[in-house]
Amino acid sequence: MLTGEIEKPWITEKNLYARLSYWITWAVAMIGVAGGALRCYFGWKDVPRVGNLCLIMEDNFETFDLENTWTREVDMGGFGNGDFEMTTDSSNNSFVKDGKLYIMPTLTSDVIGYNNIFNGYTYNVSGCTSTNLTSCGAVSNITTGSVINPVMSSRITTMKSHSIRYGKVEIVAKLPTGDWLWPALWMLPVNNTYGPWPASGEIDIMEARGNGPSYGAQGTNYVRASLNWGPFSWLNGVSKTYGWWTTRRSTYAEGFHTYAVEWTPHFIRMYVDTRLDHMLQLSFNEPFFTRGDFPTTILNDSQYIVTPNPWVNGTPNVAPFDQPFYLIMDVAVGGTSGWFPDGVGNKPWLDASDSAMHDFAEAQDTWYTTWPETAEDRAFIIDSVKMWQSC
């Protein structure tokens, strides 16, 4: 039996400081929650959006529509980058299988023989689409070092069918694997309103390299996006408008990802899978000529001239990206543009060398061993393409 006085703490006077600290703790927590919510809201509200969109093209590759949608570009000229591949109209290099488009690089030696790449053989590509006849054929000569392009690949475009001026493009694709492969999803202007490349601009939605993750200049675990623009080919502002995204636990060749561009008169954004993973997001908040910070004068032939502004009559802050652009999908190989930096990854050629393609072709036994045998791993596989126009 209990004796003595029983304590009843619930009827004693409350400790003022204990109560105050209790409510202050809750108040600070609630302020934090409210502040976080406001930050999320205004962050969401401030993300630029493309507005109303009208779907103008959708291809899920039940067939390969070469009449109404896609055009194969057939060319041996290197497309301004000194590429080592020729692009063909062959079903070996671009074909549809099981609802997917395959862009598949193959060896030229499988068609004409290895020795003919180097000596005494004339090759003219079938169905050449280039207006430059020198890009439609080549002659190999062991004395001069000229060679036949050692790789066959494909480049397909919507040049004759679909283009947009502001809107959105979305492509679901899986990257190829193989040293010195260069898969790309990109856009060029329909009319070159402001002059030859890069004055009229270029939109690179996604570019990558087929070299593995250990490659020192960003391999298959990186994807990149950029804008090309400038008064001349050697005066290009791309170094001010590029970016990338990376995956740390896998590569972009292990599965399908969505690559997209959203483009308005106010901004452009390129991303992979989600807007949060944007490779490049750029506001059109200053003229591109100002953004380029180009030199006031340049040497033109033997005299100095004032650096011309190609976009003086274009849309302020937007030109040259104020005109219709069409879509290109391709797999290039090698090249001398600097996309594969000299001295990285046992690169078997030098960009400045007159024998760059020859040196690459001679190293075929080395780089070809990194190319998977199956199309499912070697090819650039496109699952779907959608294009929307702002409306």
Each domain of the chain, given as residue ranges in start order, spans 51-113+151-390
- Residues in contact with 324: Cβ distance below 8 Å, sequence separation at least 6, in sequence order: 163, 164, 165, 189, 190, 191
Q: What is the pLDDT of residue 58?
A: 98
Q: Whose structure tokens read 């601009």?
A: 201
Instruction: Name the H helices within the chain.
Output: 16-46, 109-112, 288-292, 356-362, 364-367, 375-378
- pLDDT of 43 reads 62
Judge if the upstream peptide bond of residue 320 is cis by omega within 30 degrees of 0: yes
- pLDDT tens over the chain, length 391 residues: 555 667 666 566 666 777 788 888 888 888 888 888 777 666 666 678 788 999 999 999 999 999 999 999 999 999 999 999 999 999 999 999 999 999 999 999 999 999 999 999 999 999 999 999 999 999 999 999 999 999 999 999 999 999 999 999 999 999 999 999 999 999 999 999 999 999 999 999 999 999 999 999 999 999 999 999 999 999 999 999 999 999 988 999 999 999 999 999 999 999 999 999 999 999 999 999 999 999 999 988 788 999 999 999 999 999 999 999 999 999 999 999 999 999 999 999 999 999 999 999 999 999 999 999 999 999 999 999 999 999 9
Instruction: State the Cα–Cα distance between residues 186 and 50, nearest whole angstrom.
Output: 19
- pTM > 0.75: yes or no: yes
Pairing status of strand 121-124 against strand 106-107? unpaired
Q: Which residue has the tokens 């070469």?
A: 66
Which residues contact residue 200 at a Cβ distance below 8 angstroms, ignoring those fewer than 6 apart?
189, 191, 192, 193, 194, 310, 320, 323
pLDDT at position 3 is 58
Q: Is 99 left (phi over 0), alpha (psi -120 to 50) or beta?
A: left
Please pick, among 7, 67, 85, 202, the residue that the annotation labels catalytic: 202
**The predicted structure's pLDDT at residue 42:** 66
| 207 annotated active-site | yes
Amino acid at 10: W
Look at strands 94-97 and 100-103 and give their pairing: antiparallel
Q: Which tokens in the block code for residue 192? A: 């070159």
The reported pLDDT for the residue numbered 24 is 87
SS3 state at 366: helix
Considering 85, 207, 254, 362, which one is annotated as catalytic? 207
Cis peptide before 198 (omega within 30 of 0): yes
CATH topology of domain 51-113+151-390: Jelly Rolls (2.60.120)
